[in-house]
Amino acid sequence: MDLILGQVREVVLMSEKRSLTSLYRRLWLYPQPTGENKMDDEQYGTKDKRGFWKPHKLIRYPDVFVWPPNIIAIAKWLPKYLFPWGVTYGLLALLVWSFLTPSVERMQTLSFDWVALIALRNIVLLILIVGGQHYWLYSKRAQGTSFKYNRKWPDGKRADGKHLGFSFGTQLRDNLFWTFCSGLPIWTTWEIMTLWAYSNGWIAGLDIAAHPFGFALLWFFVPFLHELHFYCIHRLIHWPPIYARVHKIHHRNINPGPWSGISMHPVEHLIYFSGFLIYWIVPSHPLHFMHLGLMAGLSPAQGHTGFDRIVTGKENSFHLPYYAHYLHHRLFEVNYADGSIPLDKWFGSFHDGSDVSDDALKLRRKKMATKRAAKRATK
Ligand SMILES: [Zn+2]
Ligand SMILES: [Zn+2]
């Protein structure tokens, strides 16, 4: 009780001083940075020539996608593919389908009550999962800048001091706006349409009891199909006319945080969540497309934390394998895929974090600039 009264007193005192920022900082939800989990990250990485932290280990694709098959490489790759994220989102889908989704009979008719319930469930999931990561890493700054690629905290400006043009003045407000006003409704609409179609038998279902092997096989391929779809649409939205009007909003996040994950233009949301369409064609169970929906809606948060590792104890940390996507945000024309399939390697846009890749990118940019100049000259 004393603690609550103490907080109330602080709020009153601060509001008397009319210092809104200090007022926020005094609240529990916007705590003072603690840095309590700081860890020496020098044993895992070092600063590059531009002052960004980079891991010693280069990004590598296992030899899984080679012919003839390499059994040992597959055995090593499999646990990394499944754990922790494949299994985590698969289990979350099971939980959400079993306890937080209305019955098939109820979903046969579109009505406000169950639609609102699904929207509310997705809001809560976003707040808990994305908000939780933001709270820990950016509000509480629990590990300071240990393992943070960009040592600067996002301030809405580029290195040269120019504003990045975020809506509503700050990166956080901008990200929250695009996530809740566009991402959430579009994700939820795709999910509702798919559940509605499934409940009415308009799309082919997959009975677990009758086809357990088919069910397991498709479940295994959910993250794979998600990445394949993401790569295709990502290449599409980097086409200059679409990039300038649509994808630019996401790329303002050159120093991303968890809320940058699905901070996108509505057109990008429409295309990004269209992965649900795969399950309109492939016979599936709701556990498959809900797995996809949860991965698409929530997992970008962990891919945009801007940290390489989460510190969990004095000498312990947990690796987040998303350096490739961080490099995409910094360098734009590299690493369009998510990291499981070597699509960038096959199509010449792979950057493994090394100086050699940097030089290759510079050369590629030079060639592109020459090509553009030649095109302009012939016009
Ligand atoms: Zn992009
Ligand atoms: Zn991104």
Tell me the pLDDT tens digit for each residue of 126-169: 999 999 999 999 999 999 999 999 999 999 998 888 899 999 98
pTM, to two decimals: 0.90
Quote the ligand 2 centre to 154 CA distance (angstroms).
Answer: 15
Quote the ligand 1 centre to 330 CA distance (angstroms).
Answer: 10
The predicted structure's pLDDT at residue 84: 92
Please indicate, yes or no, whether residues 215 and 271 belong to a single structural domain of this protein.
Answer: yes
CA of 336, nearest ligand number: 1
The predicted structure's pLDDT at residue 339: 84
The predicted structure's pLDDT at residue 24: 53
pLDDT over 80 at 325, yes or no: yes
The predicted structure's pLDDT at residue 116: 98
Residues of the chain with pLDDT > 70: what percent?
Answer: 92
Mean pLDDT of 167-196: 97
Q: Quote the mean pLDDT of the chain.
A: 92
Q: Tens of pLDDT along 195-213?
A: 999 999 999 999 999 999 9
Quote the ligand 2 centre to 47 CA distance (angstroms).
Answer: 22
Please indicate, yes or no, whether residues 137 and 172 belong to a single structural domain of this protein.
Answer: yes
pLDDT over 60 at 251, yes or no: yes
Quote the ligand 1 centre to 234 CA distance (angstroms).
Answer: 6
Domain count, the chain: 2
pLDDT over 60 at 38, yes or no: yes
Please indicate, yes or no, whether residues 2 and 102 belong to a single structural domain of this protein.
Answer: no
Quote the ligand 2 centre to 107 CA distance (angstroms).
Answer: 33
Please indicate, yes or no, whether residues 10 and 112 belong to a single structural domain of this protein.
Answer: no
Q: Tens of pLDDT along 58-73?
A: 999 888 988 999 999 9
Please indicate, yes or no, whether residues 13 and 65 belong to a single structural domain of this protein.
Answer: no
pLDDT over 60 at 7, yes or no: no
Please indicate, yes or no, whether residues 13 and 114 belong to a single structural domain of this protein.
Answer: no
- Between 7 and 231, name the one with better pLDDT: 231
The predicted structure's pLDDT at residue 31: 60
Please indicate, yes or no, whether residues 172 and 77 belong to a single structural domain of this protein.
Answer: yes
CA of 338, nearest ligand number: 2
pLDDT over 80 at 379, yes or no: no
Please indicate, yes or no, whether residues 23 and 91 belong to a single structural domain of this protein.
Answer: no
Quote the ligand 2 centre to 103 CA distance (angstroms).
Answer: 34
The predicted structure's pLDDT at residue 214: 97
The predicted structure's pLDDT at residue 28: 46
The predicted structure's pLDDT at residue 20: 57
Please indicate, yes or no, whether residues 22 and 162 belong to a single structural domain of this protein.
Answer: no
Please indicate, yes or no, whether residues 160 and 106 belong to a single structural domain of this protein.
Answer: yes
CA of 257, nearest ligand number: 2
Please indicate, yes or no, whether residues 159 and 181 belong to a single structural domain of this protein.
Answer: yes
Q: Which residue range forms the structural domain that includes residue 18?
A: 1-30
CA of 234, nearest ligand number: 1
Please indicate, yes or no, whether residues 50 and 194 belong to a single structural domain of this protein.
Answer: yes
3-state SS, one letter per residue, for the chain: CHHHHHHHHHHHHHHHHCCHHHHHHHCCCCCCCCCCCCCCCCCCEEECCCCCEEECCCCCCCCCCCCCCCHHHHHHHHHHHHCCHHHHHHHHHHHHHHHCCCCCCHHHCCCHHHHHHHHHHHHHHHHHHHHHHHHHHHHCCCCCCCCECCCCCCCCECCCCCECCCHHHCHHHHHHHHHHHHHHHHHHHHHHHHHHHHHCCCCCECCCCCCHHHHHHHHHHHHHHHHHHHHHHHHHHCCHHHHHHHHHHHHCCCCCCHHHCCCCCHHHHHHHHHHHHHHHHCCECHHHHHHHHHHHHHHHHHHCCCECEEECCCCCEEECCCHHHHHHHHHCCCCCCCCCCCHHHHCCCCCCCCHHHHHHHHHHHHHHHHHHHHHHHHC
Quote the ligand 1 centre to 326 CA distance (angstroms).
Answer: 10
Quote the ligand 1 centre to 335 CA distance (angstroms).
Answer: 9
Quote the ligand 2 centre to 338 CA distance (angstroms).
Answer: 10
